[in-house]
Amino acid sequence: MTKRVYNFYAGPATLPLPVLQKAQEELLDFKGTGMSVLEISHRSKEYGETHTQASQLLRELMGIPSDYKILWLQGGASTQFFMVPLNLQVKGKPMEYVQTGAWSNKAIKEAKLYGDVKIAATSEDKKYSYIPKGVKFSENAAYAHITGNETIGGIEWHETPKTPNGVPLVCDMSSNFMDKVVDVKKFGVIYAGAQKNLGPAGVTIAIIREDLLTRVPENTPTMLKWKIHADKDSLYNTCPSFAIYICKLVLDHLKSLGGIAAIEKTNHKKAKIIYDIIDKSSGFYRGVASPESRSLMNLTFNLSTPELEEKCVAEAKKRSLIGLKGHRDVGGMRASLYNAMSLEGTQKLAEFLTEFQEQNEKTSTIVSKQL
Ligand SMILES: *Cc1c(COP(=O)(O)O)cnc(C)c1O
């Protein structure tokens, strides 16, 4: 038996075991070609079917309307941070961003290279521990941008904000892509690096309403125009075919589980198990995010000292619970419960956290009695 652990890393992240097994099974001989999908042309018939099916499955599972294009790109979500302003800016109109943490700040930094950026709302006052409410965007904005889920801080938009007529909403869904049902029509552009909640590193999804493809200035480098990739069905140049193939297998798997509505239910169940432990721990575990903004995907919390956190991470590792250390910029702890994390893995984590509290509270009471 191959050793498998419970992987709570933020990204690249855990993938469904049946997907990995299927990829393993097909690795040496893809669809009877006698070649691996890693070795064949991105223009071959065999790969072409997989490429088309990946987009079809995504369209079906997310209910993406026919006037939206699905692009499979490279360069990560970080490349979309500048492709968004490059493709959507309008001379004389501000680009409006909601500032909610590390990832939105990186997006804002890139947009500023292109023109006037306005911060429509921010949660900087409370260390980005919440999603601002009642955000208003101006009527003359070129577009409005939000970060669907702040992977480092652990806060998530649970409702889609409204924008004035004619102002497209752009959302970075890298770490909450398909974690819940969303109405794609409310967005002009959705983009996401695949390596958190959809597949492996190396491919980035962009879902773009057709009318937004033509704003891009003519003298833009070809590869940076969304329109080129849309017109060529993401096959203008060599696409990241292996990564797209794995995404296709993940989409098959999600469909077999009952689609996004079913996944969303499980995600709520999983997140509740861990947040309940935090809330009932009498302050032993302290949640970072304000409760109404808590992420379903990245659950951030602290213990009383960095030393105790380190001990907790180390003991979890002995129980095959891996990747619970918080992001290096903020410290603390983080459990990423992406779609591919099982209910069983979540329960194992819950049992561990409960025991860890019992054992370490006892020690601290004994110590204080002796003093
Ligand atoms: C990880 C992440 C990114 C960066 O993705 P890359 O693919 O590494 O460029 C951007 N936004 C969010 C919300 C992320 O979680």
Nearest-atom index, ligand 1, CA of 148: 13
Looking from the CA of 356 toward its CB, the CA atoms found within 13 Å total 24
Domain co-membership, 297 together with 221: no
Angle, vertex CA 184, rays to CA 75 and CA 69, nearest 5: 50
Structure tokens given for 24: 């393993």
Domain co-membership, 232 together with 267: no
Q: Is residue 55 part of a domain?
A: yes
Domain co-membership, 235 together with 264: no
Question: 195 CA to middle of ligand 1, Å?
Answer: 9
Does residue 245 surpass a pLDDT of 90? yes
Q: 50-54, 139-143, 209-213, 361-365: lowest mean pLDDT where?
A: 361-365
Q: Is residue 11 part of a domain?
A: no
Domain co-membership, 289 together with 321: yes
Domain co-membership, 252 together with 266: no
* Residue 196 bears catalytic tag: yes
Q: What is the mean pLDDT of residues 327-336?
A: 93
* Percentage of the chain exceeding pLDDT 70: 97
**Residue 310 confidence (pLDDT):** 97
Q: Is residue 57 a contact partner of residue 248, using CB atoms and an 8 Å limit? A: yes
* Percentage of the chain exceeding pLDDT 90: 95
**Residue 2 confidence (pLDDT):** 85
Q: Is residue 15 a contact partner of residue 200, using CB atoms and an 8 Å limit? A: yes
**Residue 369 confidence (pLDDT):** 52
Q: What is the mean pLDDT of residues 145-173?
A: 98
Domain co-membership, 117 together with 266: no
The total of structural domains in the chain comes to 2
Where is the domain boundary, 203, 228, 256?
256
* pLDDT per position as a tens digit, 79-115: 999 999 999 999 999 999 999 999 999 999 999 999 9
For the chain, helix, strand, coil in percent to 5 are 40, 15, 45
Does residue 15 surpass a pLDDT of 90? yes
Q: Is residue 97 a contact partner of residue 163, using CB atoms and an 8 Å limit? A: no
Confidence of residue 367 (pLDDT cuts 50, 70, 90): low
Residue nearest atom 10 in ligand 1 by C-alpha distance? 77
Question: 162 CA to middle of ligand 1, Å?
Answer: 24
Does residue 359 surpass a pLDDT of 60? yes
Angle, vertex CA 271, rays to CA 270 and CA 276, nearest 5: 105
Residue nearest atom 7 in ligand 1 by C-alpha distance? 76
Does residue 10 surpass a pLDDT of 60? yes
**What is the distance between the alpha carbons of residues 41 and 233, in angstroms, rounded to a whole number?**
15
Report which of 191, 340, 342, 68 is spatially closest to residue 60, judged by C-alpha positions. Answer: 68
Mean pLDDT for the chain overall: 96
Domain co-membership, 152 together with 206: yes
**Residue 329 confidence (pLDDT):** 87
* pLDDT per position as a tens digit, 342-354: 999 999 999 999 9
Question: 189 CA to middle of ligand 1, Å?
Answer: 16
Domain co-membership, 207 together with 332: no
pTM for this prediction: 0.96
Could you tell me the CATH number of the domain that includes residue 113? 3.40.640.10
Q: Is residue 219 part of a domain?
A: yes
Question: 280 CA to middle of ligand 1, Å?
Answer: 32
* pLDDT per position as a tens digit, 31-71: 999 999 999 999 999 999 999 999 999 999 999 999 999 99
Q: 1-5, 42-46, 177-181: lowest mean pLDDT where?
A: 1-5
Which residues does a 6 A CB cutoff place in the pocket of ligand 1?
11, 76-78, 103, 147, 151, 172, 174-175, 193, 196
Q: Is residue 142 part of a domain?
A: yes
Domain co-membership, 219 together with 326: no
Domain co-membership, 274 together with 211: no
Catalytic residue selected from 93, 157, 179, 196: 196
Q: Is residue 73 part of a domain?
A: yes
Find residue 334's DSSP bridge partners: 300
Where is the domain boundary, 220, 240, 256?
256
- Tokens 């947009």 sit on residue: 111
Q: What is the DSSP letter of 321?
A: E
Angle, vertex CA 175, rays to CA 357 and CA 129, nearest 5: 55
Q: Is residue 110 a contact partner of residue 63, using CB atoms and an 8 Å limit? A: no
Catalytic residue selected from 157, 172, 179, 225: 172
Residue nearest atom 2 in ligand 1 by C-alpha distance? 174
* Residue 157 bears catalytic tag: no
Q: Which residues of 199-228 are buried (b: 16+ CB within 10 A; e: fewer)?
A: bbebbbbbbbbeebbebbeeeeeeeebbbb
Domain co-membership, 267 together with 190: no
**What is the distance between the alpha carbons of residues 222 and 228, in angstroms, rounded to a whole number?**
7
**Residue 130 confidence (pLDDT):** 98
Find residue 191's DSSP bridge partners: 172, 206
Question: Which contacts of 40-44 are long-range, i.e. CB under 8 A and separated by 24 or more positions?
Answer: 40/241, 42/235, 42/238, 42/239, 42/241, 43/235
Structure tokens given for 306: 């960095």
Could you tell me the CATH number of the domain that includes residue 292? 3.90.1150.10
Q: For residue 175, how many other CB atoms are within 10 A of its CB?
A: 29
Q: For residue 324, how many other CB atoms are within 10 A of its CB?
A: 25
Q: Is residue 169 a contact partner of residue 158, using CB atoms and an 8 Å limit? A: no
Q: Is residue 5 part of a domain?
A: no
Which domain covers residue 298, as residue numbers?
260-370
